[in-house]
Amino acid sequence: MSQANATIARHLHIHGRVQGVYYRQSMIEAARRLGVRGWVRNRSDGSVEALAAGPAPAVQVLIDWARAGPPAARVERVDVQEADAAQLSGLPAGFDRRETL
């Protein structure tokens, strides 16, 4: 399998002014355009968390998008880690919003 066809999964933790600025919905729209599966949710500490899975190039484009976010967002940093098997259980067919954790 070529690297371009490889499916990868990444767990993202986005910090900065990322709540109340249309960040989650914008990420959902970007992920769906890219064909990336997963979810996004607000965290009670003011950050946003996401899980993205799909073709490596598409997931990387979404990670790059996450570093900027929508116009009103002020992203300070995005922590990216490989997702583990437990995080992938119950992964939606599309890209969904989850409840705040």
One-letter identity of residue 96: D
Q: How far apart are CA 73 and CA 28, in angstroms?
A: 15
Residue 3 DSSP label: G
Q: Which of 80, 98, 85, 60 is nearest to 12 (CA)?
A: 80
Q: How far apart are CA 76 and CA 4, in angstroms?
A: 29
Residues with a catalytic annotation lie at 24, 42
